[in-house]
Amino acid sequence: MAPRNPYAPATPRPASVARAFRSLQPAHREILTETVFRDRSVNEAAVSLGLPVGEVKVRVYHALRALHNALGT
């Protein structure tokens, strides 16, 4: 196993990610659930949620930024 890079960002713990996820707005949780947890493509999530593909992309972008901010990273 290679030694850890001291300059690499720390990986958040699963409990921290779960807390951060729960703190998100419902719309952010919904879009991340569709695309990340259900492993759906943007096209599949768009069909499932009844949204245009472009809107799904925008929502994923904002949801990931919100998650990043909630994690404090």
Q: 11: pLDDT confidence band, cut at 50, 70 and 90?
A: confident
Do 73 and 30 contact (CB within 8 A), yes or no?
no
Q: Looking at residue 7, what DSSP letter applies?
A: T
Q: What is the CA radius of gyration of the chain?
A: 14
Please state whether the predicted TM-score (pTM) of the whole model is above 0.75: yes
Do 49 and 30 contact (CB within 8 A), yes or no?
yes
* Residue 13 to residue 71: CA distance in whole angstroms: 10
Per-residue pLDDT of 22-64, as tens digits, reads 999 999 999 999 999 999 999 999 999 999 999 999 999 999 9
